[in-house]
Structure 1
Amino acid sequence: MSGPGESFTAEPFPGESFTGESFTGPSRPGPARHVPAPPQEPPPLRPFVSLASPDTYDVDTARVRPTGPRRRTGVVAAAACAVLGLGLIGGAVTGSWLTGDGSDGSDTPDAFTAAGDLWHSVPVDKLFPPTVMGNGAGPGGSDRTWTRIAVAPDSGCGDAFDPLLQKALAPAGCLRLLRATYTDATRSHVTTIGLLFTKADAAAMGVLSRRFEEQGLDSRRDLMPRPYAAEGTVAAGFGDDQRASWTLSVLTDAPVVTYAVSGFADGRAVGEPQPAEDAMKADATTAVAQAGLGHDAQGLADRVERSLRKTVDSATEKPS
């Protein structure tokens, strides 16, 4: 101990320390105390993943390549192409229905088109048979037989018709003209049959047919077809003055005008030719009518026209 006025310096006990005015307890082991762990860095947040396809990268360029939007764009483009394709196909099918162009998977043409091609695709013997039988085609239902004696080279329409008839037919155009001349079994009558293949479509042929019918153009004496007078045959003298009867028909189911003109084989002139329709009447008394020249013209024209339609039907038949 020290007395008054003395100073005292404390000596620390073993295991204790003293610094300045503070005192720490002994450094000997004491009861266990909880020491909080030092704060740690928070774990990195997990990336947010949406339902859309993730972005990918081009390895070579390391640029973002958004597959999601591109894929959606591709789908939209494909759908648009599909719709456009269906539209084009539908339009083509509709067009084929409207025009009858034979686009049903076969190469079979429609009847109108097929008829227009016959002038160069069918043998002459099929269009103008060497012999044409006219059962019941004569006056009073008598039978007729016509034999072909000449076939004209296919040509244009120059000089084949009277000028006014040429003008009346002009709107349809002249693609090709085929003609043949026949004689009857007695070789006293001659008849030229003609097939004028036009350039007109079905609508134009319909207009032309109505005009001829409404204006009676097929029965006017100044609108007559001309004969084909073949040298070296009984028809050698068959000219314009020898025309006795005629018939003409504008077809609407084919681009064709059919006609026939008949006369006497001896070359006699006929002052007043008669349309076949008039010459075939039961009460007709003219020399043309009584000779049956109207029947020759109409009967031969009917059978050649019928043969033409049969040929068209064969050309347009679809295989079974």
Structure 2
Amino acid sequence: MSFGQPETYDDSARPAGRRTRPRALAAAACVVLGLGLIGGAATGSWLTGDSAAEAGSPGAFAAAGGMWHSVPVDRLFPPTVNGEGAGPGGADRTWTRIGVAPDGGCADAFDPLLRKALAPAGCLRLLRATYTDATRSHVTTVGLLFTKADAAAMTSLKNRFRREGLDRRTDLMPRSYAPKNTLAAGFGDAQRASWTVSVLTDAPVVVFAVSGFADGRTVATPQPAADATGSGATTAPAQAGLGHEAQGLADRVERSLRKRVAPATESPS
């Protein structure tokens, strides 16, 4: 007479031979959950500009590059932009659009040396709009330069800007767009007070903004927004909050760009 193998038990008094299926199901669930978290992290990283997702998002990169012709201008540059906490001391800001430049090339949009610095990325299309703040005392031009570069070229360009401090030099500034018969009609080169230039690496785009006084006064010493928004800054652009105007508006236009491209790259569930 022979007998079958006795059932063995673990510490929780459950037959060890019956745990195989629950364990397999649990492992499968972990794999699915892990893949979902990875996918969600990649999308979230793109929206926040996390460089960890840059190399693995070719779809997002390509989609962002085509937004200049696929997204209405009112979505790239909304008529009203709210900047919660964007002002000095965390004050809220609201900007109203007063003019949109015809889209075109980059020939007259940048100081000559800045145009030369951006040249390796190429100029596919340039979009610009000018805004004023709620007090109508400041004007700010914000722009999106869509380049011809791939991800590697954009990364190289960003590294050069960072390494050489090109975004802080007063001889490398974006130019304003001064629509006629508006509050910004007198917003020219001499009126530029603060600016920011951001080279993206997860999209073939350079985001920039430049601000000034709405009354047309000249500014002898412009200051980059990164310095004008710093603690203890005492220059005229800093005291007037013009660094916050340029940085705050550029940040929100960049965020809007990222949010617009995210749905186009999502995979069906």
The alignment's TM-score, normalised by the length of structure 2, stands at 0.78
**CA apart distance, 1:201:** 0.3
Q: Could you tell me which of 209, 212, 223 is aligned with 2:161?
A: 212
- Bigger drift between 280-289 and 181-190 goes to 280-289
Q: Name which one, 1 or 2, has greater alpha-carbon Rg.
A: 1
Q: Could you tell me which of 180, 189, 195 is aligned with 1:246?
A: 195
Give 1:28-43 correspondences, 5 Å limit: none
Residue 81 of structure 1 is matched in structure 2 by none
Which protein has the bigger helix share? 2
Per-residue deviation, residues 41-96 of structure 1 (Å, max 9, x unmatched): xxxxxxxxxxxxxxxxxxxxxxxxxxxxxxxxxxxxxxxxxxxxxxxxxxxxxxxx
AA aligned to 1:276 is A
AA aligned to 2:91 is S
Give 1:56-135 correspondences, 5 Å limit: 110-135=59-84
**2:94 aligned counterpart, secondary structure:** strand
Q: Could you tell me which of 230, 252, 261 is aligned with 1:281?
A: 230
Distance 1:287 1:201, change over 3 A: same
**CA apart distance, 1:281:** 1.1
Paired positions, count: 215
AA aligned to 2:173 is M
Per-residue deviation, residues 10-58 of structure 1 (Å, max 9, x unmatched): xxxxxxxxxxxxxxxxxxxxxxxxxxxxxxxxxxxxxxxxxxxxxxxxx
Identity rate, percent: 78
Distance 1:258 1:157 in 2: 13
Distance 2:173 2:263 in 1: 32
Distance 2:155 2:204 in 1: 10
**1:259 aligned counterpart, secondary structure:** strand
**2:220 aligned counterpart, secondary structure:** coil
Q: Is residue 183 of structure 1 aligned with residue 135 of structure 2?
A: no
Distance 1:217 1:206 in 2: 15
Distance 2:56 2:243 in 1: 38
Q: Name stretches of at least 5 consecutive residues in structure 1 with no aligned partner.
A: 1-98, 102-108
Larger relative contact order (Cα-Cα within 8 Å, sequence gap ≥ 6): 2
AA aligned to 1:218 is D
**CA apart distance, 1:118:** 0.1
AA aligned to 1:229 is A
Q: Could you tell me which of 83, 90, 99 is aligned with 1:141?
A: 90
AA aligned to 2:164 is Q
Q: Is residue 314 of structure 1 aligned with residue 268 of structure 2?
A: no
Residue 84 of structure 1 is matched in structure 2 by none
Over aligned residues, Cα RMSD in angstroms?
1.2
Per-residue deviation, residues 253-273 of structure 1 (Å, max 9, x unmatched): 000000000000000000000
Distance 1:213 1:100, change over 3 A: closer
The alignment's TM-score, normalised by the length of structure 1, stands at 0.66
